A and B are shown apart, each in its own frame.
Chain A
Amino acid sequence: TQLLEQSPQFLSIQEGENLTVYCNSSSVFSSLQWYRQEPGEGPVLLVTVVTGGEVKKLKRLTFQFGDARKDSSLHITAAQPGDTGLYLCAGEGSWGKLQFGAGTQVVVTP
């Protein structure tokens, strides 16, 4: 049973378009992390959000953490082909244990 629900499962867009990925949970986590994974490689950390209501911006990526610390979103502005990958949200509960969502596969075509 996935504690973290990600939507959509798959997203295919053209270069220059915007996209949003959602991550929802019935549980509260001490932090929520977003990763991007490319085929055959390990996930790479994009951001960690800790405080309810927190918004973090990394260039064209904007991350939000819900007030109740149960949901989060990732918004990409003017997507580029290099943004293609599997986006994973992960909630941290007890020591060193991340609960991952199933992931959102994003494909950006030129």
Chain B
Amino acid sequence: KAGVTQTPRYLIKTRGQQVTLSCSPISGHRSVSWYQQTPGQGLQFLFEYFSETQRNKGNFPGRFSGRQFSNSRSEMNVSTLELGDSALYLCASSTDRGWTGGYTFGSGTRLTVV
């Protein structure tokens, strides 16, 4: 079966701009989580969506937002980009009870802010 698909793979943006990243989960998976990975902070949780509802949110500023559509696809948006937002953004999907089977991650979107 198809894995988790993230688009685009690479993105270069200028400070102050905004960006939208997309994630298509595995068919049948209704939970989508987003993570930011940087060399200094490692993998940090952004938020999780299930059935179009945000169930959990990490400690990131309000510039980071997301949503989930009825087909479980999810997008995350970062407004007013800062240099420190440069990172690998990963999404992961699972069935509702992720702890029984773990999560499947996409290959990520590499965002560079200049």
Give A residues with C-beta under 8 Å from B.
Answer: 2, 30-31, 33, 35, 40-45, 47-48, 50, 88, 90, 92, 94-103
Closest A residue to B93 using CB positions: A96
Q: B81-114: contact bitstring with A at CB < 8 Å (1 yes, 0 no)?
A: 0000000001010100011111111111010000
CB distance from A36 to the nearest CB of B (A): 11
Give B residues with C-beta under 8 Å from A.
Answer: 4, 31, 33, 35, 42-45, 48, 50, 55-56, 58, 90, 92, 94, 98-108, 110
Q: Taking chain B's interface residues, is the majority helix, strand, or loop, or is none over half, making it mixed?
A: strand
Are B48 and A95 in contact (CB-based, < 8 A)?
Answer: yes
Chosen A-B contacts, 15 in total, with CB atoms closer than 8 Å, are A31-B100, A41-B108, A42-B105, A43-B90, A48-B99, A50-B99, A88-B43, A92-B98, A94-B56, A95-B55, A96-B48, A97-B33, A98-B92, A100-B43, A103-B42
**Complex formed: what's the CA distance from A101 to B105 in Å?**
16
CB distance from B52 to the nearest CB of A (A): 14
Residue among A35, A48, A97, A102 having the largest count of chain B Cβ atoms under 10 Å: A97
B101 CB contacts on chain A under 8 angstroms: 48
Question: Given A2-B42, A88-B43, A103-B42, A96 and B107 touching (CB < 8 A)?
Answer: no
B105 CB contacts on chain A under 8 angstroms: 35, 42-45
CB distance from A89 to the nearest CB of B (A): 11
A42 CB contacts on chain B under 8 angstroms: 4, 90, 92, 105-108
**Complex formed: what's the CA distance from A31 to B103 in Å?**
12
Are A92 and B42 in contact (CB-based, < 8 A)?
Answer: no
**Complex formed: what's the CA distance from A66 to B35 in Å?**
27
